[in-house]
């Protein structure tokens, strides 16, 4: 009897392990995507380094020691020093905080504004759809970086204003994505049935439409963080983003561009940090698209 009971327990355990669901299946598919896992690993490493930067940074990122200026990487300064004798390892670690902060917050702002505008335009249509769509078209008519530069020029150069500019220029991307999704959903039979029984528009949007827009938003948002980091670095490089002595990666590249031949490490480490972080988000975004897109799952 004990053996039979043990066998039953094993069978129940195996059946439990075989139970599948959308999120469980998505996680299994994600784990099989090696490039996506690699991207997530890179992102998590940079996030952890950014969080513990005050604990592991060997020097104050603002501390200047002119006698140590442009010192090559060594045992004292692992990443070398810049033209003011500041430790590049410490500045790179603190720079991860700034770049990730700008990337995440700007994307969250873009998603919030774009989702609201896209839902309103797609669900209610008519003149609201026309007005919001024309606003999107106007914003998309300008190259993103040029529009961001114009916004920062109006607001004034600063990291906060650069964040606002990046969020604004990316609103149409999420707005049009959500609008197209809402247009395909609002005429579904279950939406028509909900309206017929008197369900309010707010409840329909919150319970039946918004949840179905999350998948494309998650995928695009993941890719968008990498784009936002590049845009923040570009603004910083042009002197319109983070201001001294902030160790933002783009600003570090700008400050060191005249020393490329004399001290190449001053541009290598912030540059490779930008490249690896953006690559991580791109790999993760591509993996999420493969996992969460039903069309790709059927192929």
Query: Residue 280 belongs to a domain with what CATH number?
Result: 1.10.3720.10
Residue 190 lies inside a defined structural domain of this protein: yes
Residue 76 lies inside a defined structural domain of this protein: no
Residue 261 lies inside a defined structural domain of this protein: yes
- The reported pLDDT for the residue numbered 16 is 46
- The reported pLDDT for the residue numbered 299 is 45
- The reported pLDDT for the residue numbered 9 is 52
Residue 239 lies inside a defined structural domain of this protein: yes
- The structure's pTM equals 0.84
Q: What is the largest CA-CA distance in the chain?
A: 82
- The reported pLDDT for the residue numbered 12 is 45
In eight-state DSSP terms, residue 75 is S
Residue 183 lies inside a defined structural domain of this protein: yes
Residue 45 lies inside a defined structural domain of this protein: no
From CA 253, how far away is CA 273, in angstroms rounded? 11
What's the domain count of the chain? Answer: 1
Helix, strand, coil share (%) of the chain residues, nearest 5: 80, 0, 20
> What residues make up the domain containing 133?
96-298
Residue 294: which of 20, 26, 35 has the closest Cα? 26
Burial of 238 per CB tally in 10 Å (0-12, 13-18, 19+):
middle
Residue 77 lies inside a defined structural domain of this protein: no
- The reported pLDDT for the residue numbered 23 is 62
Residue 140 lies inside a defined structural domain of this protein: yes
Its sign, for the CA torsion 199, 204, 206, 208, is positive
Mean pLDDT in order along the chain per 10 residues (299 residues): 50 49 68 86 95 92 88 91 91 93 94 92 87 92 91 92 94 92 82 78 81 87 92 91 88 89 92 94 88 57
């Amino acid at each position: 009897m004990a053996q039979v009971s043990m066998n039953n327990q094993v069978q129940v355990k195996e059946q439990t392990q075989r139970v599948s669901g959308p999120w469980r299946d998505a996680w299994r598919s994600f784990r099989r995507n090696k490039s996506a896992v690699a991207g997530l690993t890179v992102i998590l490493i940079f996030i952890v380094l950014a969080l513990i930067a005050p604990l592991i940074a060997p020097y104050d990122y603002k501390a200047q020691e002119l006698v140590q200026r442009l010192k090559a990487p060594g045992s004292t300064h692992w990443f070398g020093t810049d033209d003011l004798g500041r430790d590049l390892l410490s500045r790179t670690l603190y720079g991860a905080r700034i770049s990730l902060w700008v990337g995440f917050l700007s994307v969250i702002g873009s998603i919030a504004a774009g989702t609201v505008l896209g839902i309103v335009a797609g669900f209610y249509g008519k003149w609201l759809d026309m007005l919001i769509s024309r606003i999107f078209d106007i914003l998309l008519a300008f190259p993103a970086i040029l529009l961001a530069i114009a916004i920062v020029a109006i607001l004034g150069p600063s990291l906060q204003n650069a964040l606002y500019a990046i969020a604004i220029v990316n609103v149409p991307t999420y707005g049009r994505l959500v609008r197209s999704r809402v247009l395909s959903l609002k005429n579904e039979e279950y939406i028509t049935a909900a309206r017929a029984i008197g369900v309010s528009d707010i409840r329909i949007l919150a319970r039946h439409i918004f949840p179905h827009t999350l998948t494309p938003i998650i995928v695009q948002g993941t890719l968008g963080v990498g784009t936002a980091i590049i845009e923040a670095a570009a603004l910083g490089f042009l002197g319109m983003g983070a201001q001294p002595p902030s160790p933002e990666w783009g600003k570090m590249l700008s400050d060191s561009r005249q020393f490329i031949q004399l001290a190449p490490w001053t541009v290598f480490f912030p540059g490779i940090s930008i490249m690896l972080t953006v690559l991580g988000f791109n790999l993760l975004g591509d993996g999420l698209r493969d996992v969460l897109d039903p069309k790709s799952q059927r192929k």
